[in-house]
Amino acid sequence: MKSPWLPVAGLAFALTLTGCGGPPSNNDAERALAVLLTQSGAGQITDIQEFQLSGCVEAKDMEGYRCDTTGKVSIDIGGQQVPVPVSKNLRYAKESGTWRAYAK
């Protein structure tokens, strides 16, 4: 005789696996920030240093996670490397398997 809890346990396990992703890793978020800045017209991102995510929480207004994002971004402007400090709460959402960063 099969246990009546077996299907329930299997369903709970499957939901846990599909819903577990959590916020982006530092590497994924760093790549997403570089894409956001490049697409916004900030210039060519040449380097990101001291990148850090903290305080990530699920976004309430949209999909994804809101994270405090800090670091130093080097942007190439006319052949000059211009360091720009970053300290902003950004939303990160996974789309088609890739993390994207949003300023709003």
19 φ/ψ angles, rounded to the nearest 5 degrees: -100, 0
| pTM exceeds 0.85 | no
Contact 32, 100 (CB under 8 A): yes
Per-residue pLDDT, 43: 84
d(CA 73, CA 82): 8
Per-residue pLDDT, 19: 46
pLDDT in tens, the chain (104 residues): 545 544 444 444 443 333 458 999 999 999 999 999 999 988 899 999 999 999 999 999 899 999 999 999 999 988 999 999 999 999 999 999 999 999 98
Per-residue pLDDT, 21: 84
| Alpha helices (H) in 41-94, listed in sequence order | none
